[in-house]
Amino acid sequence: MVGFKFAATLLIAGLPLASAYIDKVANITGTFHATDDSKLPVTFINDITKVYYVDLTATFALGRASQKGQFIGLPLYNFDFTTLPANVIGNETFTIEVPLTKTNISVFGDEKSLALNVIISHADGSYPNLTFYDAIYRLPFTATIDN
């Protein structure tokens, strides 16, 4: 048992860490014009307090703005914040380019009032007492398809 705990501690210690505390996600302004290879910039706003995470990820999904509750929508993209350099994720704000194409938008037919759902999840602490947390941010926006 001691050998297992030691090995698990070494594994956890070797994982990348992210130092941030994502407080909110900035609203999307204006109209998004989708193309074959378009990307939507999403800006994250950090709190002054920094926390070291062994896992900090975002999952992006697309839904209708009218849908409420825990509805996630069409999965688009996952991003691992631990891959960012400390000088990026440690800033007050930082931006991720989320692939969002006209193919994704066309799934919703003529609906142009959409919402980007951002699911932030993280794990912190130390083995065997890891704590997991998640939050869902809904960012309504208007989209059009450019030909």
Rounded to 5 degrees, what are φ and ψ at 5? -65, -40
What the block records as the tokens of 34 is 């989708």
Which pTM value belongs to this model? 0.80
What the block records as the tokens of 94 is 């930082």
Q: Where are the domains of the chain?
A: 2-145
| Rounded Cα gap, residues 75 and 116, in angstroms | 10
Tell me the per-residue pLDDT of 71-101, one tens digit each, with 9 for 90 and over. 889 999 999 888 888 778 777 889 999 999 9
Could you tell me where the DSSP H helices lie in the chain? 2-13, 86-89, 102-106
User: Does domain 2-145 bear CATH number 2.60.40?
Assistant: yes
Q: Which residue has the tokens 């929508």?
A: 73
What the block records as the tokens of 95 is 């931006």
